[in-house]
Amino acid sequence: MEKAKLLLIFAEVAKQGNMSRAAVPLGMTASAVSQHMRHLERLYGVKLLNRSTRRLELTEAGQLLLRHAEHLAQTMRQADDDMAALKHRPSGQVRISLPTGFINAPETRRLLDTVRERHPDIRISLMAQDEAVDLQHNDADIAIRAGEIADSPDNVSRRLAACPMHICASPDYLDAHPVRRVEDLLSAHWLCHSETILRAALDELGLSGRWPDSLTECPSSAASAYYLAAEGLGLTLALSLEIAPLLDSGRLKIVLPQHRLAARNIYAVVAHAKQSAKNTAVLEALKEVFGGKRAT
């Protein structure tokens, strides 16, 4: 039993790449985690981790042991899920990775309300990140993604809705820098969270091969681009559900509404077709919240 506990701690340390970060989900101090790792190395008589001030690196023995530790962690999670399913009452944590811009979306609030009302034993953990997560390595249980999803033999995607994409800016910015024609987009200042998305939008508007004269990159967070736009710093691209509160409050306006951009599909992505009771319950709630319809 002691060794199993140490293996689970080791798996979390390897995942986080840092004793201090691993200590948080483990509910321990960093020094306690370090002591457990030294004890594990003594038990096996091999060095498992190369420690540096910046990051831990697994030795060859550590990489081998990690495979067994991850298998043990997955087995224990599956046991928990199976027992919850036997009770016919979904329970436990469900980790949802979603784009940063989705945090303030009305759909996200309705999802939390729906799950809380119907499944009080389910704990939702929202992980706002614009980078794709590795579902196969258990970085999340469900990922919500926008745009086309490449076919994968590993992951299973479920379409939730189609959502319009808009160019938007604050009323103050548009008063100072009017955008009356498509060509005016090139002389405006852009807050860009994805060059790929911006380039595709310009292509749709007949500006293929052309690029704005002035641009600020916001690569780490799409939400930061929306809120900077609301502060009057330029134009940005956003899905309607991401900026709904800002549109409703009047802090943002849709630019050139007569030129409609193609809607983007919203997907829920999971690692396997067969899901636990708790994940299935949340997926059903997601389907209901988004309604499988085009958002407005």
pLDDT at 239 > cutoff 70: yes
The model's confidence at residue 150, banded by pLDDT at 50, 70 and 90, is low
Same-domain status, 18 and 136:
no
pLDDT at 171 > cutoff 50: yes
Q: Which domain holds residue 199?
A: 164-263
End-of-domain residue from the set 24, 47, 73: 73
| 253 found inside a domain | yes
Same-domain status, 158 and 176:
no
| 79 found inside a domain | no
Same-domain status, 103 and 147:
yes
State pLDDT tens for residues 125-138.
Answer: 999 988 888 887 77
More confident residue, 89 or 176: 176
Beta strand 57-58 with 49-50 is antiparallel
Same-domain status, 54 and 183:
no
Same-domain status, 282 and 245:
no
Tell me if the pTM is above 0.95: no
Same-domain status, 137 and 177:
no
| 81 found inside a domain | no
- Find the CATH number of the domain harbouring 223: 3.40.190.10
- Find the CATH number of the domain harbouring 37: 1.10.10.10
Same-domain status, 268 and 154:
yes
| 296 found inside a domain | no
Same-domain status, 212 and 258:
yes
| 109 found inside a domain | yes
> In the structure encoding, which two tokens stand for residue 244, read together?
């709904």
15-19, 81-85, 89-93, 111-115: which is most confident = 111-115
| 31 found inside a domain | yes
The model's confidence at residue 295, banded by pLDDT at 50, 70 and 90, is very low
Burial readout 189-204 (b: 16 or more C-beta within 10 A, e: otherwise): bbbbbbeebbbbbbee
Angle at alpha carbon of residue 229, lines to 226 and 234, rounded to 5°: 135
| 80 found inside a domain | no
Cα–Cα nearest to 121, from 86, 82, 95, 94: 94
Distance set, CA 68 to CA 10, 44, 47, 107, 199 (Å):
10, 14, 16, 39, 44
pLDDT at 89 > cutoff 90: no
State pLDDT tens for residues 242-293.
Answer: 999 999 999 999 999 999 999 999 999 998 888 888 999 999 999 999 984 4
CA distance 268 to 144: 5
Q: Could you tell me which residues come within 8 angstroms of residue 58 by beta carbon, excluding any fewer than 6 positions away?
A: 14, 48, 49, 50, 66
Same-domain status, 270 and 135:
yes
Same-domain status, 114 and 151:
yes
CA distance 228 to 124: 29
pLDDT of residue 296: 45
CA distance 261 to 238: 11
| 155 found inside a domain | yes
Quickly list DSSP for 68-80.
HHHHHHHHHHHHH
End-of-domain residue from the set 73, 100, 127: 73
Same-domain status, 174 and 240:
yes
Mean pLDDT of the chain: 90
State pLDDT tens for residues 40-50.
Answer: 999 999 999 99
The number of domains in the chain is 3
Beta strand 165-169 with 253-254 is antiparallel
Same-domain status, 268 and 258:
no
